[in-house]
Amino acid sequence: MANSKYEYVRQFELADNMLPNTWLVVRVDGRGFHRFSQTHNFEKPNDRRSIDLMNRCAIEVMKDIKDITMAYGQSDEYSFVLPKTTNLYSRRSSKIASTIVSLFASNFVMHWSTYFGNEKLQYAPCFDSRVVCYPNDQVLRDYLNWRQADCHINNLYNTTFWALVKSGMKESEAEAKLRVYFLFVGV
């Protein structure tokens, strides 16, 4: 705002600067992707086109936001790591989260046809995002280990689930069978 009598409205903006000298992780997560994957005929359990598209989106985000030091993706989510020293958008959470999720989502739409060919995009995908501070290297590592463990468990479940369904079991039966197994092994 250009020094007008209305500039006072800026005082209502939330100061959302992230703590200094902490790792910042932006997690972008697909919203309603179960339905999205069904509508767009994703192959089960893992659709190579979707994996490649998500990776492309992450690459494009990293090309644009030079402060990002690494990214890790699985399923319908991606985590982007910014170093402790970053001063991107003065470390304002809302600016960082909204910019990264916007870049990710727009690249998803822009590059859809490259990976899905003639499969028409039926509706716009939606992603949410959040920024979290991690105080030291160990906690950042634990976060990445958590996401990797989640990936492993989800992939194990989905691969087994779809193998059972493809062998003739109803989805509800496969789910019930896996529920018992996963309770047994403590997952």
Binding-site annotation: residue ranges for Mg(2+): 29-30, 76
Chain centroid, CA 60 distance in Å? 14
CB within 8 Å of 3: residues ≥ 6 apart? none
Nearest to 26 by CA among 108, 136, 134, 152: 134
Nearest one of 109, 129, 107, 111 to 61, comparing CA atoms = 107
**How many Cβ atoms sit within 10 Å of the Cβ of residue 88?**
18
**DSSP of 137-150, one letter per residue?**
HHHHHHHHHHHHHH
Strands in 70-74's sheet, in edge-to-edge order, are 70-74, 77-82, 23-30, 127-134
Instruction: Give the residue ranges of the annotated binding site.
Output: 29-34, 75-76
Instruction: Quote the CA–CA distance of 157 and 163 in Å, as a whole number.
Output: 10
Q: Would you list which residues are annotated within the binding site for GTP?
A: 29-34, 75-76
Block residue for tokens 């959302």: 16
